[in-house]
Amino acid sequence: MNRLKKLKKIRLHREGTEILIASALLLAGINALVFWAFDCKILFYLLATASIIIYLLMVNFFRCPIRLFEHDTEKVVVAPADGRIVVIEEVDEHEYFHDRRLMISIFMSIVNVHANWYPVDGVVKHVDHHNGKFMKAWLPKASTENERSMVVIETPEGHTVMARQIAGAIARRIVTYAEVGEDCYIDEHMGFIKFGSRVDVYLPLGTEVCVKMGQATVGNETVIAKLK
């Protein structure tokens, strides 16, 4: 019964609609061509099996579970993505803050949900996109050298938080919905990254960290930090 309820809360993200339709037509066309072109059907059966597996992986990638944060959001920072904590450290941030910040990074593998949520409630103060490389997302240089988008949010308490979406070796498109001046809330989608990637969250020094290295995160559910 609980599993059925969870399944009812899962839908496909709109970013995958065109890709899934085009892929279905392409795979169906290739399989039909192979079926009619070869008398030996073993090749067709092998191709059909591979096509089904590939398509199911794509559907799995674009799944978008409906999640609502059921606790008080004051001074709370939630995980903006599903994945695993790969960095918790103080760093010098040079693109916006130009000072020292606490960075918490979440790496998303290709099997994770790739929708991104706002990590805090607040007002969007800055949105920017930088073209760059497509190195493996878990590498330290990926934060500043890979293609990336940043969203800077000012919380109701006056804290400034940045969420940076980073493309990976496979990810080739970052989608960001945030617009400067709009209110944003935990529970809302900030964007989507197509295929393996990473999200960094930059927080004020002194922020209480609520996760540890290697810990799995659930987007819009796992509390990763608490602002002072």
Cβ atoms < 10 Å from Cβ of 38: 12
Q: List helix spans (H) across the chain.
A: 2-8, 17-37, 42-61, 142-145
Residue 216 half-sphere exposure toward CB, CA atoms < 13 A: 5
Domains of the chain: which residue ranges?
11-64, 76-226
78: helix, strand or coil: strand
pLDDT (tens place) for every residue of the chain, 228 residues total: 443 333 334 466 666 667 778 878 888 888 888 888 888 788 888 888 898 888 887 777 777 777 889 899 999 999 999 999 999 999 999 889 999 999 999 998 877 888 899 999 999 999 998 875 655 555 555 566 677 899 999 999 999 999 999 886 555 578 888 999 999 999 998 988 876 688 999 999 999 999 999 999 999 999 999 998
Q: Among the CATH numbers 3.30.70.3270, 2.70.70.10, 3.30.450.20, 2.60.40.10, which is that of 76-226?
A: 2.70.70.10
Catalytic annotation, residues: 197
